[in-house]
Structure 1
């Protein structure tokens, strides 16, 4: 009989070990949206619809900044391609265009998707598909949940923090005899903002709490209710169009009040675009808003952004949306640089959670493995003779019932002409 041999386990194990070793040494598969020469990201934003006039210029500013970066060689030798899709501020459309970006355009990440109701409709989809969901253009608390949504990172300061800082400012400026009221959007925006006001002012401190829907064409009833209640200090959780509509309506009703707005609806140049320069100068003098980005006319960031706007943004007006969009683009470029020479979706998230990405706000970003909240506080801006600028100190606080405290730390400064290298 022929001699039958048994299998040789040692040889099989050795081959397996060798295969594992080779796999460990091989270059990881590139992530979608990354080639040798390019990185492609996409966004959903309202280029049409009820929010377009207030926000459509943001994506133009992002694109202009990426053109600036690309003209200097990009990040790690890759230029940044930016795909913009219009969702009309309609959640159903948002779902369609985001799926197109992920499944057809194969983007590396979604960058600065705009709106609370719109982006909430794709939050789970992006995380289930492990797509980096960076710098959401909304201050809702939904974006800071690394356990349930590890791929999502906020950019706007959350509305609760903004409201707490604005409430503290109102108290500090002599609000002992003030009658506090609020007008808010009828979604998480307004609800989170009211929670912040009540955390500082008290649960029963708001004489009137009015709401509006983005489909509304008129806010006369809401303004009338505030006037009838004798409201002296009106907080606004409104988008820019409704801020202008509210303040303009109050002026027509001859109702003077102190207006204090969230950053999402508090950009003076944008409001002046709605109201007209002469009307804005009359009705927005003393207008108060929260913010966290470098808007001061003498800021080095503003000087850089103006140069980029002039060269790459086709003559677009320089507004708060310009600063916002370019700040988003800079922060993404910084994160991409930190993600390494061969970036993956995983290394991009790791870079953000490392704490090495500072951004360009009036205080550094506060991302970590345990928190995807962007900035830990805001400054207060006031309009004086048509110029909107920061006054006093910035404030830091949490999104709960923690104290509101002054911030005296340093702000990141622009380096290397705003093109991150490490």
Structure 2
């Protein structure tokens, strides 16, 4: 049975009006993003930004192998954005953090990115080199700025990925420089390098090779898988090779095994690690004594035990907001990276362009970022180069907050200043 003519006409009119409104809405969004519209406050916006909120994302690990780090990073970033909101927000808007846990699983990381990317303006935390690599084409397609909790120099050339701190290769060069300054090694010596297969370990190895050539050292390479937890075979080989020091680019579990096994085998040499190779929880294991005696961590952030004012105020605020949570290096790094992203958004607001592209452009206009001493000054203006070539040298200390104490830095080795990062 056909509806009455009058009802059919009314339905047609309603359909046409809805279509016009929908089209107008799409055009308004496009105009605001492209700059041809007239936003209420004169600021261009796009996905992730409304008149009242700015939404950023965090793709992190809260249940996998780096869950402790992911928790510290996420809470520290939430602390920063809560402080921002309490002081009026950015560009008159509150900042909202959309957190997704990928459990250090690449497939879950990609799925989480696909879910939240339409809702956010950028990603101040993207944990894991493998996840970053997997979503990189999508970051470029979507013009989304991401700050990884990973430091491979191979990503420095990417416009939409901003590493914060010294890269893995530079860390190893600075580590060898420290050993030379302290006369723990000298030209003609052999040094070992135990490293993960994949981007993290291979990038660290590139720095170790350069530093060894520059110093006249012989580098003995030992490649391992992330699933290799017992370093007995590597220690036996290193001892037979007569190494005077060991470089380590792996995880905390491997660091503890190497240090403890080396001590038991009488291989009493310094072990210099990339920054992901330590967690304060190691100081509750049987490897504690060996780590405190021979382990050195290369890092871009001050230790929580530092007396630097910026660290002290951060630790106080963090413990006040998250009582009972461990205060480790992830807290300092998470807070600084949130500040970096926040500063880029502030500068984008000043330029009246809070679009994704506007935030990227604003970040690359920052050439002297000051973190109140939590990190060395950072220069984000040179795409393709590290924003710092300085590292802290830190040692495990069960009595220190965060389980670490600084013994040197931040400073670059002379070789690090000469090092040419591969394009």
Using the size of structure 1 for normalisation, the TM-score is 0.80
Can you give the 5+ residue segments of structure 2 that lack an aligned partner in the other structure?
Answer: 1-30
Secondary structure at the aligned position of 2:297 is classed as strand
Please give the alpha-carbon distance, in whole angstroms, between the structure 1 residues aligned to 2:358 and 2:398: 47
Please give the alpha-carbon distance, in whole angstroms, between the structure 2 residues aligned to 1:400 and 1:211: 27
Deviations 1:112-134 (A, max 9, x none): 2111122111111111121122x
* Distance apart, 1:228 and its partner CA: 2.5
Instruction: Identify the structure with the greater helix proportion.
Output: 2
2:238 paired with 1:226: yes
Aligned to 2:272: 260
Aligned to 1:283: 291
Please give the alpha-carbon distance, in whole angstroms, between the structure 1 residues aligned to 2:228 and 2:287: 22
Contact 2:191 2:247 in 1 (8 A): yes
Deviations 1:327-350 (A, max 9, x none): 112222222211115522122111
Instruction: Give matches, 1:309-328, under 5 Å.
Output: 309-328=318-337
Instruction: Give matches, 1:108-119, under 5 Å.
Output: 108-119=121-132
Secondary structure at the aligned position of 2:89 is classed as coil
The one of 30, 40, 43 equivalent to 2:55 is 40
Aligned to 2:198: 187
The one of 79, 82, 93 equivalent to 1:78 is 93
Q: Structure 2 vs 1, CA of residues 79 and 252 (structure 1 numbering), >3 Å: closer, same or farther?
A: farther
2:406 paired with 1:389: yes
Can you give the 5+ residue segments of structure 1 that lack an aligned partner in the other structure?
Answer: 1-19, 405-422
Q: Structure 2 vs 1, CA of residues 241 and 80 (structure 1 numbering), >3 Å: closer, same or farther?
A: farther
Aligned to 1:162: 171
Contact 1:161 1:399 in 2 (8 A): yes
Aligned pair count reads 373
* Distance apart, 1:316 and its partner CA: 0.7
Contact 1:153 1:373 in 2 (8 A): no
Q: Structure 2 vs 1, CA of residues 48 and 233 (structure 1 numbering), >3 Å: closer, same or farther?
A: same
Please give the alpha-carbon distance, in whole angstroms, between the structure 1 residues aligned to 2:222 and 2:47: 45
* Distance apart, 1:199 and its partner CA: 1.0
Q: Structure 2 vs 1, CA of residues 391 and 217 (structure 1 numbering), >3 Å: closer, same or farther?
A: closer
Secondary structure at the aligned position of 2:349 is classed as coil
The one of 275, 293, 300 equivalent to 1:292 is 300
Aligned to 2:282: 274
Please give the alpha-carbon distance, in whole angstroms, between the structure 2 residues aligned to 1:390 and 1:74: 38
Secondary structure at the aligned position of 1:127 is classed as helix
Aligned to 1:345: 356
Please give the alpha-carbon distance, in whole angstroms, between the structure 1 residues aligned to 2:285 and 2:332: 20
Q: Structure 2 vs 1, CA of residues 193 and 394 (structure 1 numbering), >3 Å: closer, same or farther?
A: same
Secondary structure at the aligned position of 1:214 is classed as coil
2:344 paired with 1:335: yes
Contact 2:144 2:356 in 1 (8 A): yes
Secondary structure at the aligned position of 2:325 is classed as coil
Please give the alpha-carbon distance, in whole angstroms, between the structure 1 residues aligned to 2:50 and 2:74: 23
The one of 114, 123, 138 equivalent to 2:136 is 123
* Distance apart, 1:381 and its partner CA: 2.6
Secondary structure at the aligned position of 1:255 is classed as coil
RMSD of aligned Cα (Å): 2.8
* Distance apart, 1:247 and its partner CA: 1.8
Please give the alpha-carbon distance, in whole angstroms, between the structure 1 residues aligned to 2:340 and 2:139: 20
* Distance apart, 1:178 and its partner CA: 4.2
Please give the alpha-carbon distance, in whole angstroms, between the structure 2 residues aligned to 1:382 and 1:165: 15
Aligned to 2:160: 151
Please give the alpha-carbon distance, in whole angstroms, between the structure 1 residues aligned to 2:262 and 2:189: 18
Contact 2:256 2:291 in 1 (8 A): no
* Distance apart, 1:379 and its partner CA: 2.9
Q: Structure 2 vs 1, CA of residues 191 and 401 (structure 1 numbering), >3 Å: closer, same or farther?
A: farther
Please give the alpha-carbon distance, in whole angstroms, between the structure 2 residues aligned to 1:97 and 1:253: 45
Contact 2:65 2:104 in 1 (8 A): yes
Please give the alpha-carbon distance, in whole angstroms, between the structure 2 residues aligned to 1:168 and 1:129: 40
Contact 1:153 1:374 in 2 (8 A): no
Q: Structure 2 vs 1, CA of residues 254 and 309 (structure 1 numbering), >3 Å: closer, same or farther?
A: same
* Distance apart, 1:293 and its partner CA: 1.8
Secondary structure at the aligned position of 1:235 is classed as strand
Please give the alpha-carbon distance, in whole angstroms, between the structure 1 residues aligned to 2:416 and 2:98: 33
